[in-house]
Structure 1
Amino acid sequence: MGQSASQAHTFYREVAKNRVVWTIRDSGGYPAPKTRTGQRAQPFWSSKSRIDRIKKIAPDYAGFEAEKISWEEFRDKWLPELARDGYLVGVNWSGKNVTGYDLDAPWVRTCIEGYIENGAV
């Protein structure tokens, strides 16, 4: 399993266990950089400590603040809005280049709910 796949599975498992998702924001709002295909992806992490690490190693992210979102709000509000707007969900981006999987919102919901339903947390 590659690094991005490992980070995605960790994202699903930790969100299912803790029922919390994290994103970042600054005075301009939430970042949603373009992917290689031209689609936008908004990053989310499964823990605040992951954001803290990114802020230390990636200067472009240093000015952002972590924002905590409950699983219920993420599931019921964020994921439908991201899907409606055609945005992908960046899961547990990592490393100095701040990269990882960018996935469709319905897929992310399905994967997290699978972990919750199967008790694989």
Structure 2
Amino acid sequence: MPDEPSMTPRQIVDEWVKRFNEGNAASIAELYAEEAVNHQVTQAPVTGRAAIQAMFAREFAASDMVCIPETIHEAGDVAILEWRDPVGLRGCGFFTVKNELIVFQRGYWDKLSFLKLHNLPLA
């Protein structure tokens, strides 16, 4: 019996967007490898699935975030997500996927605009 077809990086990012918009930190963390790194350039890198889950739990608790994909590009084991949110923030994320898990994510967005748009402290 042939192996089931694996999910492409683009499909993993499609699933990531779905889970992000559900706001469930445990569910989104399942998409990351155990030693994955999530580096949002406005913050220090977060290493490890458990730490990434904790980061998402804090972020989901702090604000109501929605990711609206503009486009997803795929090149080899990397998917690039261009996104916006309903209040005007825009950004992009680069996801490196190995064995159907995210091993590295880098995100680019304007932290000051995010804080202002979500009425959060400018700390």
Structure with a larger share of its residues in strand = 2
* TM-score relative to the length of structure 1: 0.32
* TM-score relative to the length of structure 2: 0.32
Max radius of gyration: which structure?
2
Q: Larger relative contact order (C-alpha < 8 A, sep ≥ 6)?
A: 1
Structure with a larger share of its residues in helix = 1
